[in-house]
Chain A
Amino acid sequence: MIAEKYFNAALLGGLALIAFWAYGADEPFTITLLTKVTILALAGVGLNIALGQGGLISLGHAVFFGIGGYAMGILASHAQSYQPMTLGPWMIEGTKSMPVIWLTAMVSAGLVALSIGLVSLRTNGVYFIMITLAFGQMFYYFSISWPAYGGEDGLSIYVRNSFPGLNTLDPIQFFGITFALLLLALLFHAALVRSPFGLALNAARQSPERVKTVGLNPFRLQLAAFVISGVITGLAGALFADLNRFVSPTMFSWQLSGEIMVFVILGGTARLCGPVAGAAMFIALEHWLGGLSEYWHIYLGLLLLAVVLFAPGGLIGIVTRREAAHD
C-alpha cells in the first residue's frame, strides 16, 4: 500500500509539475490537455465511488456528465443572451459565475441520479448494466430532439465562465481550478472509503445479506453512493463544458459512459488514483496514437482487451506489484 501512496503522489505531483513547466515554456495546448485529463479524472473519481466501492456497474455515467454540461450551457446561454429562463411562474436569471453553475450542476446531477437509482437499483447484475445504459440513451435522444438549447447542434458559450479573483481565460489558472477540485474529490473519496458509510458500502458490495443482518439497508447505501457518484461526475461535466465552451448531446453518449468506465479500469478499479492514471493514459494514447493513426481506437481496444484479460489490477496494479517486488 505504501508503494501505491508514492505512485499517487508522483502522479498528481507530475500532473502539476508538467502544467507549471508548460506555463513556463508557454505551451498553452499542453496545459489544455492536462486540464482535460484532470476533468475526465474527476468524472472517473465519481464513477469509482459507485463502481469501485459500491460494485455498481453503471454504464450510464455520461448522463451525469451531460447534465452537468447542460447546467453550465443553459445558465451561461441565458446570461449571454440577457434573457431569463421562464419556468412556470418563476423567472431564473442566467449566470456566468462558476460556483453557482457548479452547485446547479451538482444538484441537478444528484436529483437525476436519485431518480435513475430508485428505478435501476431495484435490480442488479446485468439488468443494472443494461438499464443504466438505456437511461443514458434516453437523455441522449432527448437532448437531440429538444430544440430549445441547440438540439443536435449543441450550444456554444462565447466566453468562459468566471471565478471570483481569478482570470479563468488564462489556461494555467483554469487548470488550477480543476486541479484543486480534483484534489478535493480525491480527499473526499479517501475519507469516504475509511468512513462508516464506506465500510458499510464496501460490505454491501461483498455480502448484502451480512449488511442486512446487522440492521443496515443495502439499497439505501447503494442509492446514496450512486447519488454521490453522480454529483461528482456532474461537476466534472460542468467543467468539461467550460473547458470546451461548448455542450452537445455527445456528452450524453454511450461511448462517453464507456470511456469514463475505461479510465477507472485502465488505472485500477477501486484504487484512489485509478481514474487519474487511467484518464492520463487515455489522453496520452489519444494524443500520441491519434497522431500516428487515424484509427487509434483499434489500438485502444486491443490495449483494453489485454488489460481485462491479463492485467485485472489495471495500471496501478502493475506498477505497485513491481515496486513491491523490489522490496
Chain B
Amino acid sequence: MTFVLFAEQVLNGVQLGVMLFLMASGLTLVFGVMGLINLAHGSLYMVGAFAAAGVAAATGSFLLALCAALAAAAAAGAIVEMLVIRRLYARDHLDQVLATFALILIFSEGTRWVFGSFPLYLNVPAYLAGPVTLPGGIQYPLYRLFLIVVGLAIAGGLYLMIARTRLGIQIRAGEADREMIAALGVDISRLYTIVFALGAALAGLAGALVGTIQSVQVGMGEPVLILAFVVIVIGGIGSIKGALVGALLVGLTDTLGGVLLPRIFATFMDNSGATSAGSAVASMLIYLLMAAVLFLRPRGLFGGAA
C-alpha cells in the first residue's frame, strides 16, 4: 500500500471520527447533565438530514440547507424534550430506553409517511466539489476535508463554550451536582431544554453533512447512534474529551481496519478468501476495540471512578 493511499484512509478515518463526535458529544452531554440515555438521538440525525434535503431541493442553497438542518433538529429536540423527555429524568434507565425506543418508531414511521420510503439525495455544492491536492501529493475530496474542518471547529467551539461561557458553567455544575444548580438560581428545566436542543442540533448537522456523501433515508440514524454509543463507552460517559478521542479512535479503526485487514489476511490466504474473511473481521474490529477498552478500563478512557 502506498503512502498516498494510506494517508487518504487516515483522512477518511478522521472524517468519520469527527462526524461521530458530533453525535457522541450530544449524547454524552445529555447523559452527563440530565442522566438520560437517549436512543432517539439517531432520529434527530435523520431529521437534520431530511430537513437539509428538503430545503436544498427547494432553494438549491447548501448553506440554507445546513441552517435548516440545525434549526429543524434543534426544534424537534426542544419539542420532544418538553413533551416526553422531561418526564423521564426521574425514571430508571429501562423506562428511558423504552420511551426513546418508542420515539424512534414514531420519528421513523412519521418520516416515511411524509417523505416516502425512497432515499433522497443531497448534492455537494459546486464550490466544495472536486479534489484538492494536499502536501505530499495527496488528492483528496474537498468536501470531506470541509467535513473534517467543520467537525474540528465545532469540537473547539464546544470546548470554549463549556470552558468559558455562562451556559458552560451551568452545564459543568449540572454534571457535578444536580441539586447544586438549583441552588445557584438556574432555571433547570430551561437549561435541560437548551442542552437537549444543543445536542439535537449537533446531531442534525451531522446528519445533513453526512447525508451529502450518503443517501438520506429512514433508518439512517440508528447505525450511527450505535457507533456513537461505542464511542461513548470507549471515551467514558459524560466526557466531551473522551467523546473526541473515542470518536477518532473508532473512525480510524473502522476505516483502516476495512482497508488493511483484507491485505493482511492476503499474506496467508488466497485472495478471495482474504477479502471476505478480512472484511468480516474488520466489521467486528471496533466492537473488539470496545471490549478491550472495557476489559482494561470498565469506565472508559476518560470516565470517572465508579
Contact = CB atoms under 8 A, between A and B. Distances in A.
Direct contact, A vs B (beta carbon within 8 Å): yes
Contact of B98 (A122, A127, A261, A296): A261
Interface in A260-317: 261-262, 265, 269, 295-298, 300-302, 304-305, 307-309, 312
A interface: dominant SS: helix
B94 A57 contact: yes
A130 B230 CA distance: 7
B109 interface: yes
Contacts, number: 120
A323 to B, nearest CB: 25
Nearest to B282: A145
Interface in A199-240: none
A87 interface: no
A133 B113 CA distance: 27
B8 interface: no
B37 A297 contact: no
Interface string A138-156: 1001101111100000000
B260 interface: no
Given A129-B97, A130-B232, A261-B97, A305 B283 contact: no
B294 interface: yes
B265 interface: no
Interface in B15-34: 31
B98 A134 contact: no
B interface residue count range (under 10 / 10 to 19 / 20 to 34 / 35 or more): 35 or more
Interface residues of A, number: 44
B280 interface: yes
B284 A134 contact: no
A129 B226 CA distance: 11
Contacts of A59: 97
Contact of A298 (B95, B101, B110): B110
Contacts of B222: 254
Contact of B112 (A125, A126, A295, A312): A295
B295 interface: yes
B102 interface: yes
A170 B116 CA distance: 39
Contact of B298 (A122, A135, A258, A300): A122
Given A126-B237, A127-B298, A300-B102, 10 more contacts: A59-B97, A122-B295, A122-B298, A127-B233, A135-B287, A142-B284, A261-B101, A295-B110, A295-B113, A304-B101
A131 B290 contact: yes
A138 B283 contact: yes
B109 A304 contact: no
Interface string A51-67: 10000010100000000
B99 interface: yes
B97 A131 contact: no
B109 A295 contact: yes
